[in-house]
Amino acid sequence: MNDIIWNDRTDETPWPNNAQLFQPLELEQILLPDNANCLYIQTFLRMCDLDFEIIYRSNAEFMSPSGKVPFLKCGPYICEADAIVNFVNNKGYSLSKDLDPSNKADLRAFTSLVNSVLVFAELYITWCEPSVYNEVTRPRYGSGYPWPLNTVLTYKKRKQVIKMLKPHGFYDMSINEVYKKVETCCQCLSTKLDNNNYFFGEQPTEFDALVFGHVYTILTTPLPTNKFSAIVRGFPNIVAHCERIEKTYYPSDKSRK
């Protein structure tokens, strides 16, 4: 509800110099879907040329009011995940304000495509695919907690994710059906991108940040099965788009491979 209040309010106070982005520990804890989201928001803030500091906390998920990571602490305000883009837009920094209405509608449609396919596919791979769950998710998610809390919390989170996937039909799919959906989604994105530098015109928008966040994470996260990244690699223009953004916005970042 508070998100809605923010969305309606245009806040012209300048960007504070102590904005902090909270996310889980990158090295030992963060999982594929959260990592994609964190990278999306980081890239978006960099594209807006806004100063922020990344703070790693093992309890970031629980500090966030909605349980979603990352969340932004900007002065007295706290907002998380998708609400960050609106919050920043309301501060007067927008990457998509110059788009014409039909492009704006497209941007929304594609954003919802990515959110309803890639995000759920990532959650499926992370929590429902046995090899990934046992070899990657379990040890990483429970890394910050002593026994037996690590087992209990991982089990609890898995139940929560399954509850979320069920109404979208993902939980009942086989892994191949999920890969098929991902492939269709990538095909769609690839067609939209064509040979352009960015999805909507010559300047990047928040959608470019979103795609970069997901694609980069899918390509670089080591998993027991590499089928997921192989599908994405099958679309050269998407991979090129990802590399382009990496070069532009993370020019000297050693940690990004």
Partner 1 sequence: MGTVHAKEHSTMTYGEMDRNSAVTDKKTVNLQEIQARVDKVNVEGLNRTQEDIIKRTVKELFKVNNFEEVIKEVHRTQVKLESLGCFSNISALIDVSSGPKATSQGYEVTYFVKELKRVKGSVNTVIGRDNEGSRVVGTVAPNVFGRAEKLHCEFSYGSRQTSTFNVGFYKPFILNTLAELNTSVFQNESDWPNSGYKQIDRGTSIGLGFPFMQNIRHTVQWEGCWRELNMNTRYVSFDVREESGHTLKSAVKHILTVDTRNTPLMPTFGSLLQCTSEIAGLGGNIRFLKNEVLLQHNVEIFPETVIQGSVTGGVMRPLGSQKEIHICDKFFLGGPQSLRGFISRGVGPVADKNFIGGTLYWAGALHLYAPLPFKPGAGGIGDLFRTHLFVNAGNVGSFNIDFSDRRWLHEFRESTRLAYGAGLAIRLGQLARVEINYVIPVLFDKSDGINRGVQFGIGVHFL
Residues that bind partner 1 (CB under 8 A): 2, 57, 59, 61-63, 65, 73, 76, 78, 145-147, 149, 152-153
For residue 190, give the nearest of 228, 230, 236 by alpha carbon.
236
Give the nearest distance from C-beta 71 to partner 1 in angstroms: 10
- Cβ at position 128, least distance to partner 1 in Å: 23
Query: Would you say 76 or 222 has its CB closer to partner 1?
Result: 76
Structure tokens at 169: 């039909």
Report in angstroms how near the CB of residue 147 gets to partner 1 at its nearest: 8
Burial of 221 (0-12, 13-18, 19+ CB in 10 A): buried
**Which residue, 66 or 190, has its beta carbon nearer to partner 1?**
66
Cβ proximity to partner 1, 47 vs 74, nearer residue: 74
Q: Is the distance from CB of 140 to CB of 28 less than 8 angstroms?
A: yes
Least distance (Å) between residue 255 CB and partner 1: 25
CB 42 within 8 A of CB 71: no
Q: Which two tokens stand for residue 18?
A: 């102590």
Max Cα distance, the chain (Å): 54
Nearer to partner 1, 67 or 201 (CB): 67
CA-to-CA distance for 113 and 226, rounded, in angstroms?
A: 23
DSSP string, 82-121: HHHHHHHHHTT--SSTTS-HHHHHHHHHHHHHHHHHHHHH
Q: What is d(CA 195, CA 141) in angstroms, rounded to the nearest whole number?
A: 39
Whole-number Å distance between alpha carbons of 115 and 152:
28
> Residue 61 or residue 82: which is nearer to partner 1 going by CB?
61
Smallest distance from partner 1 to CB 150, Å: 9
DSSP state of 127: H
Are 211 and 241 in contact by the 8 Å Cβ rule? The answer is: yes
Rounded Cα–Cα distance for residues 246 and 131 (Å): 30
CB of 144 to partner 1, least distance (A): 8
Q: Nearest distance from residue 149's CB to partner 1, in Å?
A: 5
Nearest residue to 228 (alpha-carbon basis) of 186, 165, 172: 186
Complex with partner 1: residue 59 or 226, whichever CB lies closer: 59
Identify which of residues 5 and 27 has a Cβ nearer to partner 1 in the complex.
5
